[in-house]
Amino acid sequence: MNARNDQSPSPIRLSEYRAPAWRVERVELDFDLGIDASEVTARLRLRRDPAQQTPLRLDGEGLELLAIALDGQPLDPGSYRHGDNQLEVDGAQDGSVLETRVRLQPAANTALEGLYLSGSRETGFLLTQCEAEGFRHITFFPDRPDVLASYTVTLRADRKRFPVLLAGGNPEGAGELEDGRHWARFVDPHPKPSYLFALVAGRLEKIERDYVTADGRAVKLVMWSEANVIDRCHYAMDALERSMRWDEQAYGRNYDLDVFHVVATHDFNMGAMENKGLNIFNAKYLLADPDSTTDDEYRAVEAVVAHEYFHNWSGNRVTCRDWFQLSLKEGLTVFREQQFSADMNSPPLKRIEDVALLRRAQFPEDAGPLAHPVRPAQYSEINNFYTATVYEKGSELVRMLSGRLGTDGFRRGMDRYFEANDGRAATLEDFLGALGDANQVDLLPYLVWYAQAGTPRLKARRDYDAARREFTLTLSQHTPGTPSQPEKHALPIPVKLALFTHEGRMLPLHLDGHPRSGDTELVVVLDKAEQRFVFREIDAEPVPSLLRGFSAPVILESHDTPAELALLLRHDVDGFNRWEAGQQLAIRAYEALREGGSDAAIVAWCDALAALFADGNVDDALLAEVMTPPGEVELAEREREADPERIHAWRQELQRRLATRISAAALLQRYRTLAQATNGQLDAASQAQRRLKRRVLELISLLDAAQGQALATLQYEEAPSMTDRLAALSVLVRTDAPQAATALAHFRDRYVDNPLALDKWFNVQTQRRGAASLASVRELERDPAFTLKNPNRVNALFGAWARSNPAGFHQADGAGYRLLAERLAQLDALNPQVAARLATAFNGWRRLEPVRRAQAQAAIAALAEQAGLSRNLTEIVQSMLH
């Protein structure tokens, strides 16, 4: 079991890092696998740091020690001490070999960390999850990422029950044993940290493909799953091949083993895991077929397959010195995946999705009680730091660096980074140093971004001097204090900009103090509290377009008029910037609606969108995104005393205005045209049509619920793809349609044997409005298919409700908060990682209006007082309350 909070959760600090006193050069692991009990023998060849006198201490949690020997001699009990999470051994020397034998109980492991069982006792399979500190649940070891060892792994098990035996590395033999048992051995030639160890054993089917790397290595790619879903692995296999080619071309990185295994499981705490040579995936990010997978999910599969594969270099070949450097591998790998996905799909749409995610998930984190830097200074439980800040903000920081160096300079810097750190456990300083050295620039000023929490506010003032034909832009920055960092420093903020004429043309830019280039777009870097930038030869007051492509993860406060934003929305050539102008204008319109003042912004937003809607030249998918105002979470972030139900109502009203302006007839006509073109194909144009069709259907149902419901019912019945089917079902549920019950029953029946599709059935029903959603959640909990033991199911019910339906979850009487808090306590006893992650749904509680705030605080405080909570959940609820 995991550490509980009565066991001293004293924080680990970056400033206290020390190199390991003992390293492991080689490890031989022998597994005797069984569902209820597995035995692990580990032989560690130890190296001692001569400069440190510390006794040999190994991590180990929940291990039953069966035998222990040093250099071939069994140890007597007086020469070692076995505590709750540590083994201390006397007498070890440089070059010693320590051998331990332990017993584990995989079937009893509900935390899904270490060695555990996925699926039923009869048909399920065994697998491991070791990041961040799961290896200590498997054997005694210095379980830290700066201990890199060579692994030889031998698996033994009953052949009938476990016909497939896999571990990371190249296969080095297999054979029969007595009593129907068999064995298989794997050797990994690349030294690796323990968190990248993995094994899988059970009854699994496979698909295979031969691949030859750019540098000529023949590789067998193998995807594994339970037999009934193996046909759903083909899309992921194609995505893997695309990822491998792309990494060769974009970064010159080749795969480095003879086999690459990928395994799907329904029981997984996170998205997927990049174990060396043996990636393990949450089935949600590997399995795909047209009948049960939406377009968004297809793109997610492609992105996660690429992400895990890219880790083979950014994470595995070059790993992290300690967990404070987590963003070194995660931020960088997210960035690489974003580049890949942009190349495979539409760059502006990808950027829109990434920025929307940053605003929805990371900005609130950075503005709330859990705010932390991309490189945290301390933690109590590392699993709580796999956050949007470390991943998504971390990626934005890499993007800024790549923008600073340009495409060629960044590639040069990355080549240097990989070469200089191959086979090492590196730091963010190593990364910035390599990028900078390869380009003769000092990037260390960017380290402040890694050390400082909070989202900077960027202010832009402007001034036009007609007589001098000068346009002056004054940029200033301010980062509000965060819980443990009240004072903030100025950061280097790259601002990509362009100036538009009132006719929508981009002007050539002549920036004072810079060589004349005549470019229409350039980057200025604000690295002080305030700075002025003067542009010459400007004949009339221009409209600035700032932070193009979202060149830095900041909140821009500018004073553009609605007319200026509408101009950018109409004329900007870049799809992302167009969307962004629309988002800013929608916020103005929303605020005007709420405050009841001038409706200039509402009119400007509606008119501009109606014009784009009528104009046949805008890409369907982009149009759908531009016609979607910022979400309720993002709108709530702008308020001091948020009332989620009112925010929902105002946002609905805003969309109703838009629908009215476009007109019911025009919407219906477009819907019909799109419906006629309906197919189940996956090409970009078909996906874009589905995306727009969904948006149009939503707008129709805001104007005329009955008509929207009739169309949705038909769409549900005739849908050739999950995207159309789920979109229709969602409209029926959200509008409380009389037809909803029949469609839901049909859906459940159709997908009763498909857990990923059934998750969608749970998810969609959490989106009912107001108190109805609470009633739904209570009823769904009693469904025989609901279980707290499966992370995907928990997230499909409680996660979707608390995060994606603020108006439903935040009931004024606090009933929603109490239900979530009660379930968190139960979940924590089973799976602390998933409980702690779900608890972050309370993040925004301090910015609620007073009645809800008091209710939320009471529920969180009651949870905090419960005895025996895990270290994971304790850290989250304590931070939340302080």
Are the C-beta atoms of residues 305 and 241 closer than 8 Å to each other?
A: no
- Encoded tokens for 43: 């032989």
Q: What's 842's DSSP letter? A: G
524: closest CA among 499, 497, 557, 553? Answer: 497
Give how far Cα 429 sits from Cα of 327, 375, 437, Å: 12, 11, 12
- By C-beta, is 131 or 698 nearer to ligand 0A1? 131
- By C-beta, is 44 or 273 nearer to ligand 0A1? 273
Q: How far apart are CA 67 and CA 381, in angstroms?
A: 30
Residue 469: how many CB atoms within 10 A of its CB? 14
- Encoded tokens for 870: 């895990």
* Residue among 171, 252, 271, 403 that touches ligand 0A1 (CB under 6 A): 271
- By C-beta, is 271 or 770 nearer to ligand 0A1? 271
Q: What share of the chain is helix, strand, coil (3-state, %, to 5)?
A: 45, 20, 35
Tell me the backbone φ, ψ of residue 224, rounded to 5 degrees: -120, 140
Q: Which does 297 bind (CB under 5 to 8 A by kind): Zn ion, ligand 0A1, none?
A: none
Are the C-beta atoms of residues 762 and 796 closer than 8 Å to each other?
A: yes
Stretch that binds ligand 0A1, among 199-207, 266-274, 515-523, 731-739 (CB under 6 A): 266-274
Site track 301-340 with Zn ion (rule: CB under 5 A), x = hit: -----------------------------x--x-------
Q: How far apart are CA 761 and CA 738, in angstroms?
A: 17
The answer to whether residue 308 is catalytic is: yes
Stretch that binds ligand 0A1, among 18-26, 239-247, 272-280, 506-514 (CB under 6 A): 272-280
Q: How far apart are CA 566 and CA 581, in angstroms?
A: 7
Count the residues of the shown chain that bind Zn ion, applying the rule CB under 5 A: 2
| Dihedral sign (CA 819, 821, 824, 826) | negative
Radius of gyration of the chain (CA): 28
- By C-beta, is 330 or 564 nearer to ligand 0A1? 330
Catalytic residue among 133, 308, 396, 625: 308
Q: How far apart are CA 162 and CA 349, in angstroms?
A: 44
Shortest distance (Å) from residue 269 CB to ligand 0A1: 4
Are the C-beta atoms of residues 529 and 487 closer than 8 Å to each other?
A: no
List binders of ligand 0A1 among 130-159 (CB under 6 A).
131
Site track 826-845 with ligand 0A1 (rule: CB under 6 A), x = hit: -------x------------
Cis peptide before 132 (omega within 30 of 0): yes
Site track 103-132 with ligand 0A1 (rule: CB under 6 A), x = hit: --------------------------x-x-
Shortest distance (Å) from residue 770 CB to ligand 0A1: 35
Strands 457-465 and 555-557: parallel
* Residue among 35, 147, 264, 270 that touches ligand 0A1 (CB under 6 A): 270
Shortest distance (Å) from residue 197 CB to Zn ion: 16
| Strand spans (E) along 385-528 | 424-426, 457-465, 470-478, 493-500, 522-526
Are the C-beta atoms of residues 126 and 105 closer than 8 Å to each other?
A: no
Are the C-beta atoms of residues 416 and 353 closer than 8 Å to each other?
A: no
- By C-beta, is 362 or 477 nearer to ligand 0A1? 362
Stretch that binds ligand 0A1, among 19-27, 198-206, 268-276, 455-463 (CB under 6 A): 268-276
Shortest distance (Å) from residue 835 CB to Zn ion: 22
| Dihedral sign (CA 557, 559, 563, 567) | negative
- By C-beta, is 272 or 777 nearer to ligand 0A1? 272
Q: Which does 129 bind (CB under 5 to 8 A by kind): ligand 0A1, Zn ion, none?
A: ligand 0A1
* Residue among 38, 109, 118, 269 that touches ligand 0A1 (CB under 6 A): 269
List binders of ligand 0A1 among 328-387 (CB under 6 A).
330, 386
Count the residues of the shown chain that bind ligand 0A1, applying the rule CB under 6 A: 13
- By C-beta, is 382 or 525 nearer to ligand 0A1? 382
Are the C-beta atoms of residues 144 and 18 closer than 8 Å to each other?
A: no
Residue 308 touches ligand 0A1, criterion: CB under 6 A: yes
- Residues in contact with ligand 0A1 by CB under 6 A are 129, 131, 269-274, 307-308, 330, 386, 833
Q: Which residues make up the interface to Zn ion (CB under 5 A)?
A: 330, 333
Q: Which residues are catalytic?
A: 308
